Amino acid sequence: MWGFTVDDALISIRYARHLVSGAGYRFDAGGPSTDGVTPLPWPFLLAPFASGGAFDVLVRVKVFGVALHAASAALLGRVEGPSGARVAAGVLLGVCLPFAAYGASGMETPVATLLCTIAVVFSEKRWAPLVAGLAATIRPELAPWSVTIACGFALARRAPPRDVVIAFALGAAPFATCAIIRRVVFGRFAPLALMAKPSDVSHGLVYAGAALLACGLPLLLATTTLRRVPAPAKVVAIAFGVHVLAVIAAGGDSMAYARLFVPLVPSLVYVHLHSANIACGPFFWLRSACAFGFAAWIFIGPGRDGRHVMRDRADLVSRAQPVIGDAKHIAAVDIGWISACTESDIVDLAGLTDPEIAALHGGHTSKRVDASMLLDRKVDLVVLYSGHEISWQLTRDRLFVDRYELATTLPLGRASYGVFRLRRQTD
């Protein structure tokens, strides 16, 4: 899955490049500082890699992510179990498409995965709750999981109430600190993406069901031995259930390949290994074989389309640069690849980096943006994807049709991007 990435990876990279250049924590070098990256610390972690062009940075971050996921996998070697079961666990992790995809995506997921895995594997350590809490600064929906892990591990070792309270504080403090920083700096406790990408429980249910199947996770937990595994493994299983509910409540995610469950995949393999210590019999191997077969089918089938995303985006950028290179203010929904084309100001029609647009009615691909807003922001180039509702809205806006004309079309797979340029005004 080395060729997989997502558009949002390039958004975070642009923030990191501006941090390194001295422009500060902002998407546009000359624009306001906005909360456009859901994991608040991520651009700072990217800073050591953030010199050079956007795709050069992306390659470095992908290498970093693969190394972190390899470390997460290696940590499972500390879990005792029958040798055959340990090999099976490694194989199951190796064929898990979401784990592979987001290891090489250029996203923050591998950092969260490693922190979650450290907290689980070193559950007996008193600092484990803090590590679990740090994972929630990278992926906010992990906050309920981190608190459950923190308190559960303390209760599992029969710690006194005072230690349970301390563990809760350690598990909650990093997430709470990020929320307070957001409130002070950006005026709201929650990430801007929560407002820009509104969702609901029904979407969350669909997402959770599909994501769990994509990871093969239900098969790893479908065992009667859970009641007999060590207490830390029970805590991990319960905390995973809490995380499923948190993802459903958050409304799921718009990205492919079960991103929100990837950080906990090694944790579920950890529970699977502990169940082998109790009963490594036919049922264990049947579950392992079914999980392997299902994961391999996902890898061969749905995984095929994701293996060329980075190549396709790089080709799109090379074709788009001559077209948009001279524009001063560009408006688009998919702003990640646009940011790899130019350092010009970009108006984010999805609202991920723009609080004013994020507050508009509609989803992140259907915000009620009209042509007058584009003109007020001096937008001289608009890039619209044919599959987005906002494209349908704007191209039927009379003012947009009067003031913007189609300059060219950039094909991408079965769809395309239309590039609209501001018409020259004549007396």
Using DSSP, state whether 242 is helix, strand or coil.
helix
Can you tell me the mean pLDDT for 153-181? 95
Is the same domain home to 172 and 115?
yes
Give residue 217's pLDDT.
61
CA 225 centroid distance within chain: 33
The C-alpha atoms of residue 54 and residue 340 are separated, in whole angstroms, by: 5
Query: Residues 167, 282: one domain?
Result: yes
Taking residues 168-191, report their average pLDDT: 96
Q: Largest Cα–Cα distance of the chain, in whole Å? A: 84
Whether 267 and 357 map to the same domain: the answer is: no
From 307, 337, 358, give the residue that closes a domain.
307
259 and 332, same domain (yes or no): no
Does pLDDT of 342 surpass 90?
A: yes
Query: Quick one: 219 and 353 in the same domain?
Result: no
Residue 189 resides in a domain: yes
Based on the domain organization, do 238 and 333 belong to the same domain? Answer: no
15 inside domain: no
Predicted pLDDT at 44: 96
Residues in the chain: 427
* 224, pLDDT greater than 70: no
- More confident of the two residues 219 and 8: 8
pLDDT at 106 over 50: yes
Among residues 249, 275, 307, which one ends one of the domains? Answer: 307
Contacts of 14 (CB under 8 A, 6+ apart): 27, 54, 336, 339
Would residue 101 count as lying in a domain? yes
Q: Are 271 and 149 in contact (CB under 8 A)?
A: no
At 329, is the secondary structure helix, strand, or coil?
Answer: strand
Q: What is the DSSP-derived secondary structure letter of residue 142?
A: G
Alpha-carbon Rg for the chain, nearest whole angstrom, is 23
Supply the pLDDT for residue 218.
Answer: 55
The CA-to-CA distance between both ends of the chain, in Å, stands at: 55
- Structure token digits, residue 216: 């093969």
Please give the pLDDT value at position 273.
85
In a domain, 27, yes or no: no
Higher pLDDT, 160 or 325: 160
> Residue 221: pLDDT band by 50, 70, 90 thresholds?
low
Q: Tell me, what DSSP letter sits at residue 29? A: T
Q: Which of 248, 278, 307 is where one domain is finished?
A: 307
pLDDT for position 225 = 65
Tokens linked to 271: 């529970």
Place of tokens 């508009």: 360
Look at residue 286 in the predicted model and tell me its pLDDT.
81
Residue, of 173 and 229, whose pLDDT is higher: 173
Q: Do 94 and 129 fall into the same domain?
A: yes
Residue 266 in domain: yes
Percent above pLDDT 90 for the chain: 74
Statement: residue 219 has pLDDT above 70? no
How high is the pLDDT of residue 310?
94
Mean pLDDT score, 163-187: 96
User: Is 203 among the domain residues?
Assistant: yes
| Residues 172 and 286 reside in one and the same domain | yes
| Domain presence at residue 366 | yes
Q: Is residue 316 part of a domain?
A: no
Same-domain pairing of 373 and 277: no
pLDDT tens-digit map of 280-309: 777 778 878 888 888 888 888 888 889 999
Query: Total structural domains in the chain?
Result: 2
Domain match, 329 and 287 both: no
Query: At residue 325, does pLDDT exceed 80?
Result: no
Pair 216, 185 in one domain? yes
* 341 burial type by CB count under 10 A (0-12 exposed, 13-18 middle, 19+ buried): buried
The pLDDT confidence band at residue 427, using thresholds 50, 70 and 90, is: very low
Domain that holds residue 405: 325-422
Shared domain check, 217 and 97 = yes
